[in-house]
Every structure is written in C-alpha cells, then in structure tokens.
Chain A
Amino acid sequence: MSPALIVFFVLAGLSVIGALSLILQKHPIHSALSLIVVMVSLAGLYLLLGAEFVAAVQIIVYGGAIMVLFVFVIMLLNASAEEHTNFSKLAKFGGLPLALALTGLLAAAMIHNGGAVPNNPTPDALASTTGISMMLFSTFVYPFELTSFLILVAIIGALVLAQREKKT
C-alpha cells in the first residue's frame, strides 16, 4: 500500500466518521464541529488529488466562513441539546430502502467505470490557481457570472427580509 493510499483511507475514514457523528450527536455545537471535521478532511482529499487551490479555498470558505456562521448562530440562539421526537413514518419505512437504493446505484456506477477511474484524475490546469482562473474567465465565464448574479439576488433577498423584520 502506497503512503498516498494510507493517507487517503485515513482522511476518507475521518470524513465518514465526522459525517456519522454529525447526524448522531445530540448537541448542535457538536454536530457543527463534526461538520468542520468533514470539511477539513475533504480539503485533505483535494490536496491529495493535487488540487491545492481548491483545498485551501475549501478550508477558507467552508471550514472557516460558513461553519463559523453556523457556530455563531447556534451560540447566539443558545440552542441546547435537541429532544428526539418520534421518527416520522416516512423516514422509518421509506428511508432505509431509499438509502440502500442510492448506495447500490453509486456502487453500480463505480463498478461500471471501475477500470476507468484514473489514479490522479486532476488535470494540471485544475491544480494551479492560474489554470482555474483561466477556465473560470474563459470557458465557464457565463455559468460563473450567472452564479454570481444568483448569489447577489440571494444577498438582496436576505437584506429585504432583515429590513422588514426591523420595521414591525
């Protein structure tokens, strides 16, 4: 087993454990912390694939900004441990089969393409900051600008909602 593979399994295991703990923890802060573990180990996986820029941005944006906001809101509301309600019937009877179906689908797709997954699927263009910016501002410039526009709309929406609350 190559060292890279060992690191992969450590990080993958960490992210799976983090994700499970995110669901199973009773306290919102513990769940948020588990989510941070998932985000950081995903960044590690990106780094392993050679996508340095994406890895750093993953930590800055998801691990830093977004999760800090989550933690901030949980702290601000002083949310305490959640109380478990009875599971909804849909989740009880529909959940497991659907989860199994999804897992089966993913597994089938992986087996189907099994030989085709390259060892290092990141093209060099994606690894460097220059490559990513070239792609963003040439090939994918329209989707990129549209997404920016969407985010702007969301920001204005949030502002409008916040203002309305203030007046009443």
Chain B
Amino acid sequence: MNAVTTFLTQDGGFWVLTLVKIALLLFIVLTVNAYLTWFERKVVALMQSRVGPHRVGPHGLLQPAADGLKFLFKEDVMPGGVDKFVYLLAPFLALTLALASLAVIPFGPNPLPFKFFGHQIDLWITNPDIGLLVLFSVTALGVYGVALAGWASNSKYPLLGGLRSSAQMISYELSMTMSVVGVLLMANSFSLTKIISLQESSKWGLLSWNIFTFHGGCPQIVGFLCFFISAIAETNRVPFDLPEAESELVAGFHTEYSSFKFAMFFIAEYTSMITVSSLCAILFFGGWNSPFPTPWTFTHYIPSLILIPFGLWVIFDGIKYETIFGKLILPGLGTAIAGLGALLLAGIVIAPLHEVNEYIQGPFWLLSKIFFFLFFYVWARGTLPRFRYDQLMNIGWKLLLPVSIANVIITAGFVLFRSAP
C-alpha cells in the first residue's frame, strides 16, 4: 500500500472533509488576495505620501469588492488572430497551479479538538512526505501560464514578456531550489511538518529557527537571502517584474487579456506571493513555532492582548464616519474584537479558555510571519527600481547560483562533520 492507493481507498467522510477544507481554504485565500491588493496600494501610497484608496468604505476597505465586481462585468474581449485554445488555457493554468501549491502548506501543529466521522481535522489539506518537491514541481509548471499567455496573444509585447518570463523563471528556479538544499540536508526530509518541528527547541526560541540554528546546525541566513530573492523573481514581482515591465512592454504577457481573465493572472500572482511567504516562514523562520522559548507560557496571551487595543482603535476610528459604518458596523465590530480579546485573556484563570489560547499559538505565529513577508514584498515594490535585463541574468547566474551552491557545500560539510563520531 503506497500513499496513492491509501488515498484512493478512503471513505466518504474523508472526501467530504477534504472538499470542505479545500473550499474553505479557497475562500480564505481569495479574500486575502483581494485585501492584499488593498494593503499593497495603501502601503505604497504611504511610502509615496499619498492617501491611497479611501473612497469606497472606511479607509477604502470595500475597494477590493468594487474592483472584483468591475472585473466580472467588464467586456471580455478576445483579440483577433489569437490561438484560441492556448489563449484560454493560459490563465486557467496560471491560476490552478498557483492555488494547487497551497494544498501542501501546513497552517498549524495540532488537529482541531473534535473529529469528523472519525477523521482527525488537521490544519492542512494534505501533508505528503515529498511536500517540498510537490511545491517545486508546481512552481516548475507555473512558467507555462505566463509563457503561453504571451505566445497565444499573437502580439509582439506579450510575446516579448512571455519570452522574458520563461528565461527568467528557468534561471531563478535553479538558485531557488539550490538555496533550500541546506535546510533539507539538516532536516533530512522533504516533509514540511518535519522541517518545522525540527526548528523547535525549548531553550532558544527564535534563535533555533533555521536561519540561526543555535540548537546545533548550520545557520541558513545566506540560503534564506538567496531563496527570497529568487522567489521574488520567480513570482515576477518588483524589482524582477521584467515580464510585465509597464514602461517597456505595455503590460507584458497579459496585455491582450481583459476582464476576468486578466483578474485570474492577478490572483495567480498574489497567490504565489502567499505561497512563497509561507515557504519562507516554514523553511527558514520556524513555521508555527513561537519566537519565545517554550517555558514562557505568558507569551501565549500575545494574540489576545493584541486584539483589545485593535478593537478599541476600530471603535474610535469608526465613530468618525457619519454613514452606517460609523453608527453601527465599525463600533460593533470593534466591540466584538475587543470583547473576544478580553474573553480570551480571561483564560489566565479559566482553564478551557487557556486551552484556546494555546491552540491559536501555531496559526497565529505562522500567519504573522507570512504577513511580514507579504509586507516585505510590498516594501520592495515601493522602494526598488526594476532591474535591467542583463543585470537580472547576471544576478541569477553569476551571484545567486554560485552563492547558493557554496551554501549547500558548507552545510553538507557541517552536517557530515556533526554526524561523524
């Protein structure tokens, strides 16, 4: 019995549970994607001393919904002379592959405290032994979405964008794969949950993460830098957004796509940003491990403690608005958030609530780390100019690849030295 045959002989409860989990994850990720565009616009606006979206809803919070509706109702133009099949296939390929990679990301250590028809409810869709390889194979196929979109459009700027993207993604995939080998050598496994659990130590807290490895191991700070830079290039984000380069290629590979097909490329790009951020957190920053040493149990109340001032801020910010938001929604929401925080803080004395605090530790820290890397993406976009094409190739082949190979050799030597008697 191997993994696939075991999977195929599961009972109905398992299938229902998995489908519900997939639907839930899709819903969450697509919503987060929408608000990521809002977040990006707000942060970039802040960096450029602008206001950013602020017309639709308080702080422009309903802007993503308005944008989504606009995408749905725009006319869907198919330019003449396109290769119809490939033209339609490309956005599907891009979006499906980007979303598929989320299936193997584990979001928390402990299963939910109740069972579904005898099935344990883990905080991941699947946890294969080759988790990291699955992610890399999905990334490897992800090039096609962009390259084929550029080719099928039958137009010169998209073609140039598609060509650039395939060259860029092949080049940076090498250094991206190489830079995680150090982590793999220390973990001795492709399983993401195992990689995370090996970064746990009761004494060192955040210093035991793979980037520092104070509890014995070779620090992967170089590996992390190589990985993150290549990953930014792999997701076609600034400063490596050569495939779309507005100033040179109009909009690059998706110039000829309109309406929701354009939105699909957009969602795919933001989803891969989330995947890469979670990978950074999981491989190098301890995944769901708290940055504090395990004996410091009082740090378990940090999430609840954050909720109270946040809720109060929502109330005081909300009452400024004279619409229904100020009168009802925002103060209500703020009260609910602050109340929830206060309730969870009561866990100091009430045992079941204490359990809840313990339980949300893993997801809370993982999501905070993912959020930090997403902010980093936006930060890079707000501050860095785009690389020239030859610079891009030089960085990939002459800097990142040799450095990440050197990192592999040093880590391998370290692991060998440590395992030798």
Query: Which residues of A line the B interface, CB within 8 A?
Result: 2-4, 7, 27, 29-30, 33, 36, 40, 43, 47-50, 52-53, 56-57, 59-60, 63-65, 68-69, 71-72, 75-76, 78, 120, 122, 127-129
Does the CB pair B83–A75 fall under 8 Å? no
Given A4-B4, A29-B83, A68-B169, is A52 in contact with B163 using a C-beta cutoff of 8 Å? no
A33-B140 contact, Cβ under 8 Å, with A4-B5, A68-B169: no
What are 11 pairs between A and B in contact, CB < 8 Å?
Answer: A7-B8, A43-B137, A50-B3, A50-B5, A53-B130, A57-B133, A64-B140, A71-B147, A71-B151, A72-B147, A78-B159
B137 and A75 contacting across the interface, CB-CB below 8 Å: no
Q: Is B342 interfacial (CB 8 A cutoff)?
A: no
Check B133 against A47 for contact (C-beta < 8 Å). no
Q: Which residues of B contact A7 (CB under 8 A)?
A: 4, 8
Question: Smallest Cβ distance from A132 to chain B, in angstroms?
Answer: 12
Report the Cα distance A55→B351, complex, angstroms: 47
Residues on A with C-beta less than 8 A from B128 are 52
Contact A75/B163 with A36-B144, A64-B173 known, Cβ cut-off 8 Å:
yes
Q: Is B56 an interface residue (CB 8 A)?
A: no
Contact in complex: A68, B144 (CB < 8 Å) = yes
**How far apart sit A97 and B350, CA to CA, in the bound complex (Å)?**
82
Hey, what's the 0/1 contact readout for B1-28 against A, CB within 8 Å counting as 1? 0111100110000000000000000000
Chain A residues whose C-beta falls within 8 Å of the C-beta of B8 in the assembled complex: 2-4, 7
The answer to whether A127 touches B2 (Cβ under 8 A) is yes
Which residue in chain B gives the minimum CB-CB distance to A64? B140
CB of B141 within 8 Å of the partner chain: yes
Q: Name the distance in Å between A48's Cβ and chain B's nearest Cβ.
A: 5
Q: Mark B184-226, 1 if CB is under 8 A from A, else 0.
A: 0000001000000000000000000000000000000000000
Shortest CB–CB separation between residue B271 and chain A, in angstroms?
Answer: 19
Provide the B135-179 mask, 1 if CB < 8 A to any CB of A, else 0: 011011101100110110000000100110011011001000000
Number of A-B contacts (CB under 8 A): 99
Whether B137 and A65, one on each chain, are in contact in the complex, defined by CB atoms closer than 8 angstroms, is: no
**Per-position 1/0 for B80-113, Cβ under 8 A of A:** 0001011001000000000000000000000000
How far in angstroms is the closest Cβ of chain B from A24? 14
Given the known interface contacts A64-B137, A64-B173, the answer about A75 and B147 at a Cβ–Cβ threshold of 8 Å is yes
Minimal beta-carbon separation of B168 from chain A (angstroms): 11
In the complex, A159→B231 CA distance in Å? 28
A48→B4 contact, CB < 8 A: yes
Once the chains bind, are B140 and A63 in contact (CB under 8 Å)? yes
**In the complex, A72 Cα to B172 Cα: how many Å?**
15
Is the CB of B134 closer than 8 A to any CB of chain A?
yes
- From A2, A29, A56, A69, give the contact of B86 (CB < 8 A): A29
Identity of the chain A residue whose Cβ is nearest the Cβ of B134 in the assembled complex: A56
Q: Does B2 lie within 8 Å of A122, measured CB to CB?
A: yes
Would you call A49 and B2 a contact (CB within 8 A)? Answer: yes
* Alpha-carbon distance between A63 and B144 when the two chains are bound, in angstroms: 10
> A71–B148 contact, CB under 8 A?
yes
Is B129 among interface residues, defined by CB-CB distance under 8 A? yes
Q: Let me know if B170 and A60 touch, CB within 8 A.
A: no
* A65 engages B140 (CB within 8 Å): yes
Q: Are A50 and B4 in contact (CB under 8 A)?
A: yes
Which of A3, A49, A64 meets B141, CB within 8 Å?
Answer: A64
Compute how far the CA of A2 lies from the CA of B1 in the bound complex, rounded to whole angstroms. Answer: 13
Contacts of B190 in A (CB 8 A): 129
B86:A75 contact, CB within 8 angstroms: no
Closest to B174 in A: A65
Minimum CB–CB distance for A7 against chain B, Å? 7
A71–B165 alpha-carbon span in the complex (Å): 12
| B163 / chain A contacts, CB cutoff of 8 Å | 72, 75-76
- 14 further A-B contacts with Cβ under 8 Å, apart from A30-B86, A75-B150, A75-B163, are A4-B4, A29-B86, A30-B85, A53-B130, A60-B133, A60-B136, A68-B140, A68-B144, A68-B166, A68-B169, A71-B144, A71-B166, A75-B151, A129-B130
